[in-house]
Amino acid sequence: MKFGAFFVGQRPQLHEQYSDQKDNPNPVTRTDVEVYQDILKGAELAEELGFDSVWIAEHAFSEHSIISSPHSLLAAIAARTKRVQIGVACTIVPWYAPLRLAQDLATIDVISDGRVVVGIGRGYQKREFDIYGIDIAESRDRFIEGMDITAKAWTEDRFSYNGQFFQFPEVMVIPKPVQQPTPPILMAVTHSPESVEIAVSNRWGLFTVGSSFFPASPDSDKNLISLYHRRMVEEGVAPDDMEIAAVRNVYVSPTDKEAIDLLTPRLQWAGDMGEFLRRPVSEMANAPGGLRGYENYVRDPFIEQDLVAERGIEGMAAIGSPEKVTAAIKELEDNHVTNFISYLDAGGLDFDQVSSSLKLFAENVMPNFR
């Protein structure tokens, strides 16, 4: 089992998901500078403690994450670390000019001496797409075309392209990444079996969050991790060659109660923000004609309260004593997960709080898997 440290960069300040009729359970305020400095310190600490990778998010226009220029931050993390792999979880490919994306990631791979892991996804927040002037219904097609161009930019000396969204004459794209033919690529999947098939067809790894286990049993094809594992085996890929990463909210304290008391209001804040941002896509998916590419958001397990209650906090978090967190990770390991990534700063946890959990995790949880 490999272990990653994931910093989302939530900045509770405006609390826009709350109206006068709904109380804010997490009246924490943080500044932009505090959030970014804590991420940089956290990345250095994660490397010192023996984590294998450091990840950051990408979002825009909300406090769900203030990391709106992730490759700039990733370059800063590259400069402050020497060993850990580094990545964005995930780069929202439909927003990018693919040649620029290929150049940015290759440059970071060069300056980090081959430590980039490429986390990729389509995005799901309609507001982000609207503000950027991109039709969210085009996200899957833009994603596929964007990654096709990015891969060619890394592996071909010169090429031209004539696609649906991008056309250009023969071009030489430099620099090339240190890792050849490409850096490792993991595709983010939360709802869609179609996305699993894209990952399988490209032999990419899988990057999942809690809903990837919901709502079916581990043996059901509706369970996206099991579906990915089965399809990769059918394609002749050995289980030891698969990369399956699972993200969970993590907080380790000496006792379950200490962790739950600290995290409950912050996870409630983060959950309310998530519902606020995800609801428009779910509503469009339920409208006549649906929303192309988001058919599986008709019942979003992140926001439908009966599904949330059925899944429970255990479906999205590993919170509590070292023994409890270890048990949660062992369950994931039994479900083919090879890389456990700890979502560390939910609801604006500061560096002191994050570092306390990280140290307990490294000292009392990680050794159980190595």
Residue owning tokens 């990345």 = 43
Domains (range + CATH), the chain: 2-369 (3.20.20.30)
202 contacts 143 by C-beta, under 8 angstroms: no
- What's the pLDDT at 139? 94
- What's the pLDDT at 306? 52
Give dist(CA 223, CA 228) in Å, integer: 9
CB within 8 Å of 201: residues ≥ 6 apart: none
- What's the pLDDT at 130? 95
326's tokens: 């270890």
- What's the pLDDT at 361? 98
Give dist(CA 285, CA 295) in Å, integer: 6
- What's the pLDDT at 9? 93
Give dist(CA 75, CA 43) in Å, integer: 12
Low-confidence ranges of the chain (pLDDT < 50): 213-219, 307, 310
DSSP string, 307-365: HHHHH-GGGTEEEESHHHHHHHHHHHHHTT--EEEEE--GGG--HHHHHHHHHHHHHHT
Tell me 104's DSSP state: H
- What's the pLDDT at 35? 93
With residue 252 as reference, give the H or E element that holds it.
strand 244-252
Q: Is 162 exposed, middle or buried (0-12, 13-18, 19+ CB in 10 A)?
A: exposed
- What's the pLDDT at 47? 98
- What's the pLDDT at 297? 66
- What's the pLDDT at 300? 54
The pLDDT tens digits of the residues spanning 176-229 come to 999 999 999 999 988 788 889 999 999 999 998 765 544 444 445 558 888 999
Give dist(CA 113, CA 178) in Å, integer: 7
With residue 132 as reference, give the H or E element that holds it.
helix 126-132
- What's the pLDDT at 365? 98
Q: What is the pTM of this model?
A: 0.92
The pLDDT tens digits of the residues spanning 132-176 come to 999 999 999 999 999 999 999 999 999 999 999 999 999 999 999
Q: Which residues pair with 205 in a beta bridge?
A: 186
